[in-house]
Amino acid sequence: MKRALVHDWFYTKAGGEKVVEAISDIWSDFDYYTLIDTLNDQLRNEILKGSKTTTSFIQKLPRSKKNHRNYLELFPAAIESFDLSQYDLVISSSSSVAKGVLTNQNQLHICYCHSPIRYAWNLYFDYLNDKNLNKGIKGWYAKRVLRKIRLWDVISSNRVDFFIANSNYIAQRIKKIYNRDSVVIYPPVETEKFTLCSEKEDFYIAASRLVSYKKIDVILEAFNQMPDKQLKIIGDGPEMKTLIKKANKNITFVGKVSEEDMISNLQKAKALVFAADEDFGILPVEAQCCGTPVIAFRKGGLLETVIENKTGVFFDRQIPEDIIKAVKVFESSSFDFSVIRENALRFSVDRFQREFKLFVEEKLKEFYS
């Protein structure tokens, strides 16, 4: 049996790449396809076991390695350019266009869907506002491109034989947008690597890529109003300079850190503050693995991973006032760090691989019987 794995792009190791890594540990004979690939040797060895990928024509376009999203309009053509006709099984790991590869009736295509294209659907208006694309020629062009992407996205969903969603939240989105059913298999979390620490220090942590939809600016403003509380912000991104200018002295920007430093910070923090509307959210589960409670926005995948008053507390609106109230509730509560870790263990890598392998093998048996 010949197997192909298609992923949107490889340039970092985030949640989607951790899923690819776990799948690659189940079967070692994948051929990999992606729009662009800029992985260094270390990440390539971790995620792809050192394998090379087949990239699209976007890889060769000017500045694509720095900002591939400039070529959004070309994504459908790029993903459709791959000839996968020699493969029996095609697995796509998709939060953008990977699920749109062309297959025929003799091939089984299973999509692990992190989300339908966010900036074309649920983040459409946020994207336009963030990029100042609500008016003018550039705004008209951006809306035209995204309208075409939405049409292609729905049409290409019919190319998938079976959808796997990374949470019930995304399963609902798949049903709403594609009118397709899906099974839920939660992403893998390295529970053995993120170990329990019961000795917490006097600081909170926020960690993510510093982009608008992660709402780090809201967390920052909340802690600006709580000068007696220390906040560490881990990560980098386009909003970093703006955020640094707004921050008071109780807020520290750590920047991008190694995995070891990330684990250490998650272990020692009083709590992780997380304000994004997240599809699943691997980081909050990693924090819980360390016995660290989560102060989270009451929406999205975190409703499936955080247990209120046992492993964290929720706030209802993405505004500073609600985060401040949640911090006060948190500080007046007590948490059992071992209970927090126990909750996180249900999202282990072993569990993911077992469920994913069973699903794929059952569908292969049905398809080729």
DSSP string, 202-232: S-EEEES---GGGTHHHHHHHHHT-TTS-EE
Determine the pLDDT at residue 122: 87
Mean pLDDT of 231-249: 94
Band (pLDDT 50/70/90 cuts) for residue 91 is very high
Residue 195 lies in a domain: no
Q: How many domains does the chain have?
A: 2
Q: What digits encode the pLDDT tens for the residues 139-162? A: 999 999 999 999 999 999 999 999
- Residue 47 CA, chain-centre distance (Å), reads 15
Structure tokens at 70: 């400039």
Six-digit token pair at 114?
Answer: 């992190």
**pLDDT greater than 90 at residue 14:** no
Of 356, 336, 369, the residue nearest 111 (C-alpha): 356
Residue 97 has pLDDT above 90, yes or no: yes
Please give the residue range of the domain that contains residue 60: 3-188+349-367
Which CATH number belongs to the domain containing residue 294 in this structure?
Answer: 3.40.50.2000
Reply yes or no on whether the pLDDT at 342 is more than 90: yes
In a domain, 359, yes or no: yes
Q: Rounded CA gap, 305 and 312, in Å?
A: 10
Report if residue 197 sits inside a domain: no
Give yes or no for residue 90 having a pLDDT over 90: yes
* Residue located via tokens 């080729």: 368
Question: Per-residue pLDDT for 131 more than 90?
Answer: no
> Residue 199: inside a domain, yes or no?
no
List the CATH number of the domain containing 120. Answer: 3.40.50
* Whether residues 256 and 170 fall in one domain: no
**Is there a single domain that holds both residue 164 and residue 209?**
no
For residue range 173-230, list pLDDT tens digits in order: 999 999 999 999 999 999 999 999 999 999 999 999 888 889 999 999 999 999 999 9
